[in-house]
Each structure stands twice: as structure tokens, then as C-alpha cells.
Amino acid sequence: MEYLEEFRKINEKLVERYSKLDESEDFWKYLYKPLRPSIRINTLKGHLNEIKSLLEEKFELEPIPWTKGEGFFIKRYEVNFGELIEYSLGLIIPQEASSMIPPVVLDPQPGELVLDMAAAPGSKTTQIAQYMNNEGCIIANDAKRDRANILISNLNKAGVLIAKVTVKDGAYFRRYENTFDKILLDAPCSSVGMIKKNFKFARTWSMGKVYYHSKLQKRLILAAYKALKPGGVLVYSTCTVDPLENEEVVDFLLQKTDAKLEKINLPLKSTEPVLEWEGKKYSDELKKTLRIHPQDNDTEAFYIAKIRKPR
């Protein structure tokens, strides 16, 4: 239980809460373990195999099985991307492996109108543009101007030509009812999954943050669903494990609207979604969502739901 004890020293309340969610020692072990470096090859800037060959001169690569052939783990724990010409040219995009899942589930197509509601810093936006072959339109939104500036820089570097960057509260888009073919809401969250990247997320975690984000997420998911075209797909995701920010939010949408969940089938390991938490029961439909704990695939924790609006 050494890893559990290490986290107790950092934040006792964090351990107290999530030990109820996952009783395994592996949860804490893999949350403590350093993040495996991973990249996405950017086919907007070059041919996949040519860029892959350049990288293989420097690194041993391991394919990330749930991507469309462009995602790779780098088999070493220390990589200085700033020293790589491929990074400087935008040929590769450093991106955490489980963070590549939401755009894969969204499956945007060339010519579609897509909203990325909380887009900064933009790795998922560039992935969406890549799947669209730079054909169509992406509204890439972020609520904060300083984050939007980083988003613009990353989109330019990646060669994304179809994104329009906006700086709005995500709920603003509720006024565009039945407008977007696809919407990604990679929601602001309490970031428990990111503890693997930096222990500051463990130190600063609090129940206040969980309650704050859950309320915000419910507001955003309702706005996103309203802006979605009938027949369209909304993907909701977070990089945290708390049921109040995950199953609770999706269950709230199911209760308030005619939204339908679709099963996500990808080649990865996952943890059973939470159907009851703190005395509250959620819809059995939530079994179709994807809950990923750190030990499942040795990645950040993530939660993903694929939502369809009936025609």
C-alpha cells in the first residue's frame, strides 16, 4: 500500500473519496507512475509513413490501438519535444493517449460543421481537423482569451485551415439550436486523471472543485445538446474519475432531454461505469459509456460518452 500512503501525505481527502470508487492498489500505483509519452502524427502536414520513418530513427514506437493508425507511445519516459524538428514543424503533436479517444468516438467527416466547445489547448481540435482532411468547418471555442491564444498558435502550427476560434462561455452556443453535425464537449473538470502528469492536481483537488465542475458541466452539456442537429453526435468527455462529473452529468442529460447513448467499442481495457453513487442510482444506459482508470491501459484516467440526438 506504499502508493496509497504517498497520496495520503499529499491529500488525505482525495484518498478517502476515491478508495471508495476503486479499491485496488493498482489504481494508486498507476496514478503515481509517470505518464508514458505519446504522440500523434499529423497527416495535415505530411504522409504518415514518411513521418513515422523519421521518428523511428530516434525512438522505438508502439502503436496506440484505439487510434486510426496515427497515434504512438514513445518507449522512453523522458522526451524533450522542444528539441525535435518534427515537433517544431508540426509534423507530430504530443498528446496523451487516452485524450485521443474522444475525437475517435466523435468520428468527424470531411465537410461537416463541428463544434469543439472547450477546445484549448487544441490537441483534440487538430485531431478533428485531421480526420476531416481540412474540409468543412470547426468552431473551436474556449471561455478564456489567454487559452484561446494558445489554441490559435497550436492550430496554426498544425496546419489547420478550417477552424474559427471563438471566445465564449460554452453555454452561449445554446442559441444555435439544431445547428452542428458533431459536437465535442471535453469539459473542464477536477483533473484527477492528470495527476500522472503533475502531482499539483492531487495537492489542489477538493470536493469544492468537484461540485463546481459538476454544476458547470451540466450547464454546458445541455447547451451542447440543444446546438446539436437531429441525428448528430455529441461526445462528452473528462479527464477525471469522479462520478459527479461523469455518470451524474450524462444521467442528468438523459433525464432532461430525449438524448440516446450509443455503445463505444474500441480495443482497450476499461472499468465498469458507476450506476450507483452516494445513494443515488443512475440509468442502466450508462453501461454504454466508457470509464477508464489509470491502471486499465497505463494512461491518464478518462470518461467518454457518445450521445445521439434522435431525428
Q: Which residues are catalytic?
A: 239
Cβ 258 vs Cβ 309: under 8 Å: yes
SS3 289: coil
SS3 100: helix
Which residues face 276 on adjacent strands?
281
* CA gap 268, 64 in Å, rounded: 10
- Helix axis angle for 25-32 and 2-10, nearest 10°, is 60
Q: Who contacts 56 (Cβ-Cβ below 8 Å, separation ≥6)?
A: none
Type of residue numbered 72:
F
Q: Who contacts 275 (Cβ-Cβ below 8 Å, separation ≥6)?
A: 247, 281, 282, 283, 284, 286, 287
Q: Who contacts 200 (Cβ-Cβ below 8 Å, separation ≥6)?
A: none
Angle at 59 between CA 54 and CA 60, to 5 degrees: 115
